[in-house]
């Protein structure tokens, strides 16, 4: 009978990755499935999680499981969901928010994680180990520097520019084409009412594309978004987080190197001495590293 | 048979006022009805409008009708709707956007109207008489200084303050009580997803109330909203509008004298020499004044 595995899981908004390693740390299984049927606060969440892990392990048993899960916002919720999943899996299960995988995925024990994709969040820990976060309050009112916020801010800036008689033709053209409407009233109607914030992030490439095509307004919006993320990092440092290492991750920062550089530059300006790196590993590596550490095999 | 009447109509988002005057300018009828069944772009809009006027006149005929109508955004739309309404009413009918009633309601021929209620819009005319507008793009992304925008901006400011470890207990308490939720995550969920922007304006009193109770953050949001409206006035002046007279109107500015003063002060700073007044008349008076001018009886 083979030895039980050490397992890391990253439950994201759209896909879930399960990676299992043996006692040497060698990868035995690495599976990606759609995050379908997952609702973190749902009664079935523990069963879904246990079944997803069991299916991925192909008959082998889990020893220690660490899960970074989208939508798990409180310590109490994480503990309760972990206990229920552990009872089904008959293994040690620890659950954290998926944003908390970024720093360990970079092989670090401490630091600040910055994730900017459809949404954004900045996470760290204070000296007592308590979790700190900034942003991540949702696309409508929060999430600076995310694709959703960049579109929201770009449209608002476009409207102000139109009103002031200083239209930005490049940004306007990129946004109209991306949204598929003929004019600015159509753009506003679509993004405010017909589709709404759930789809703002889809049009992020229109903003970065407009900046690349010379739109000053788009460039200003991208710079402001980068600075707003850096301000979140500075806020966590002021609340006691260790800002010497800052790890950047998320779909937007992976896809747009120019914006990643803007964020990195802004973090270095706002937090002098910060060592900023981009996460090359998949976040699931953070869950594996945390699981290895929990059974005394961490680096 | 009595002489036909001169009629002004204000079709607002929730109520419609019809006021008819005789050849001496004396008020003969003044009726307020719910704006129920009105959809400016609907095929039945002309019929609704004609019936509403006919019902209000109590059997007397209309000679000249001017309508300020919510939702009429383009010159073409206004002309087409006016022609169709005229055909039913057998009278001269002119339609403008309801925001354009504010300046004539103050008895002025030229100037800039600032309306801030649930939404906001700033309107004027350039030297050729063409309509200019700023803001009024809807509550989600636009409408600075409106009740909706003040709530949106106050919640965003509250979230940033919470993230930075500088919570504003007064603003938080006022918003939580108004929205009826126990904590900030509940507030965000309700205002972002469960209710959404349609209801933001309802919580305007929580922002002005927090400012009155000493919240610095709420006061900053109110000041920024006032300055954003004043910036719209400055924008229209830079595009050729006559900024010597600026008329303030709308439910928010009528209900909150402190905010009206902030807007007036900001307009005076941004447009030196502007004479700022608050509209004491109902906007329907503007429609009546425009109608009297059209039949050569205007002041």
Please report whether residue A123 resides in a domain. Answer: no
Residues of chain B with pLDDT under 70: 1, 297-299
Residue A74: the pLDDT is 85
Contacts of A159 in chain B (CB under 8 A): 137, 141-142
Q: Is B134 on the interface with A (CB under 8 A)?
A: yes
Query: Is the pLDDT confidence value at A299 over 60?
Result: no
pLDDT value of position A1: 55
Range of the domain at A100: 5-106+281-294
Please tell me whether residues B75 and B45 are part of one structural domain.
yes
Instruction: Find out whether A197 and B189 touch, Cβ atoms under 8 Å.
Output: no
Whether residue B126 is contained in a domain is answered as: no
At residue B1, the pLDDT reads 55
Mean pLDDT of A159-167: 96
Q: What is the pLDDT of residue B298?
A: 58
B113 belongs to a structural domain = no
Whether B116 is in a domain gets the answer: no
CATH of the domain at A205: 3.30.420.40
Q: How confident is the model at residue A234 (pLDDT cuts 50, 70, 90)?
A: very high
Helices (H), B10-129: 45-57, 75-89, 102-105
Which pair of tokens denotes residue A287? 């869950």
B62 and B94 inside one domain: yes
> From the DSSP assignment, how many helices (H) and strands (E) are in chain B?
11, 10
pLDDT in tens, A136-160: 999 999 999 999 999 999 999 999 9
B142 lies in some domain: no
pLDDT in tens, A91-115: 999 999 999 999 999 999 999 999 9
Give yes or no: residues B167 and B246 share one domain: yes
Residue A33 is given by DSSP the state: E
Which helix (H) or strand (E) element contains residue B193? Answer: none
Give the residue carrying structure tokens 């060698």. A26
Q: Are B100 and B113 in contact (CB under 8 A)?
A: yes
Q: Do A289 and A220 belong to one domain?
A: no
**Closest by CA position to A203, among listed A149, A142, A261:** A149
Q: Answer yes or no: do B160 and B199 share one domain.
A: yes
Residue (of B69, B12, B239, B249) closest to B145 by Cα position: B249
Place of tokens 């204070």: A126
Chain A touched by B140 (CB under 8 Å): yes
Q: Are A241 and A132 in contact (CB under 8 A)?
A: yes
Strand, helix or coil for residue A108: coil
Residues A205 and A99 in one domain: no
Do B178 and A128 meet the contact criterion of CB atoms below 8 Å apart? no
Q: Are residues B86 and B205 in the same domain?
A: no
DSSP H or E segment with residue A20:
strand A15-21
Average pLDDT, chain A: 94
For testing the chain B interface, which of A160, A237, A241 should be mutated: the one with the most B CBs within 10 Å? A160
Sign of dihedral through CA atoms B66, B71, B74, B79?
A: negative
Q: How many structural domains is chain A composed of?
A: 2
Partners of B232 on chain A (C-beta within 8 Å) are: 163
Within an 8 Å CB–CB cutoff, is residue A133 touching chain B?
yes
Q: Does B120 fall in a domain?
A: no
Chain-chain contact of B141 with A135 (C-beta, under 8 angstroms): no
Residues B268 and B190 in one domain: yes
Closest-CA residue in chain A for B141? A156
CA distances from A43 to A82, B57, B123 (A): 13, 62, 53
Does B142 contact chain A (CB < 8 Å)?
A: yes
Q: Are residues A257 and A286 in the same domain?
A: no
Does the beta carbon of B138 lie under 8 angstroms from any beta carbon of chain A? yes
Q: Which of B131, B129, B130 is nearest to B99 (CA)?
A: B131
Helix residue spans in B74-189 (DSSP H)? 75-89, 102-105, 147-163, 169-179, 184-189
The residue length of chain B stands at 299
Residues B91, B207 within the same domain: no
What is the torsion angle, in degrees rounded to the nearest 10, for the CA atoms of residue A117, residue A118, residue A120 and residue A125?
-70
| Confidence at A279, pLDDT banded by 50, 70, 90 | very high
Spatial CA neighbour of B248 closest among B236, B237, B261, B235: B261
Query: Would residue B258 count as lying in a domain?
Result: yes
Whether residues A239 and A288 fall in one domain: no
pLDDT digit string (tens) for B217-273? Answer: 999 999 999 999 999 999 999 999 999 999 999 999 999 999 999 999 999 999 999
Q: Could you report the per-residue pLDDT of A16-42, keeping only the tens digit for each?
A: 999 999 988 899 999 999 988 777 777
Count CB neighbours of B156 within 10 A.
Answer: 17
- Identify whether the C-beta of residue A172 lies closer than 8 Å to the C-beta of residue A213: no
- Clarify whether residues A179 and A93 are in a common domain: no
Would you tell me how many other CB atoms lie within 10 Å of the CB of residue B107? 13
User: Is B102 among the domain residues?
Assistant: yes
Under 8 Å CB-to-CB from A18, ≥6 apart: which residues?
Answer: A7, A8, A9, A29, A30, A31, A32, A33, A52, A53, A56, A57, A284
CA–CA distance, B190 with B210 (Å, rounded to integer): 19
pLDDT score for B162: 96
Pairing between strand B120-125 and A62-69? unpaired
How distant, in Å, are the alpha carbons of A233, B84, B220 from that of B43?
54, 10, 45
């Amino acid at each position: 009978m083979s030895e039980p595995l050490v397992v890391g899981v990253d439950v994201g908004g759209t896909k879930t990755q399960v990676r299992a390693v043996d006692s040497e740390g060698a990868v035995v299984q690495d599976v990606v499935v759609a995050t379908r049927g997952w609702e973190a606060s749902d009664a079935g969440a523990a069963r879904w999680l246990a079944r997803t892990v069991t299916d991925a392990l192909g008959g082998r048993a889990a020893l220690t499981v660490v899960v970074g899960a989208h939508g798990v916002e409180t310590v109490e919720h994480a503990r309760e969901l972990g206990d229920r999943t552990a009872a089904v899996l008959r293994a040690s299960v620890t659950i954290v928010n998926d944003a908390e995988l970024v720093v360990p995925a970079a092989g670090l024990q401490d630091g600040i994680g910055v994730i900017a994709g459809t949404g954004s969040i900045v996470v760290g820990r204070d000296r007592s180990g308590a979790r700190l976060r900034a942003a991540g309050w949702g696309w409508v009112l929060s999430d600076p520097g995310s694709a959703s916020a960049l579109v929201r801010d770009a449209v608002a800036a476009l409207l102000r520019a139109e009103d002031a008689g200083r239209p930005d033709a490049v940004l306007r053209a990129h946004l109209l084409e991306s949204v598929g409407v003929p004019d600015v009233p159509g753009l506003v109607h679509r993004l405010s009412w017909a589709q709404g914030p759930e789809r703002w992030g889809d049009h992020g490439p229109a903003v970065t594309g407009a900046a690349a095509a010379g739109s000053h307004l788009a460039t200003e919006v991208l710079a402001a978004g980068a600075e707003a993320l850096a301000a979140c990092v500075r806020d966590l440092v002021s609340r006691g987080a260790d800002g010497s290492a800052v790890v950047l991750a998320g779909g937007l920062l992976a896809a747009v190197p120019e914006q990643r550089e803007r964020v990195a530059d802004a973090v270095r300006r706002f937090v002098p001495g910060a060592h900023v790196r981009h996460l090359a590993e998949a976040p699931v590596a953070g869950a594996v590293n945390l699981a290895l550490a929990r059974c005394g095999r961490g680096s």
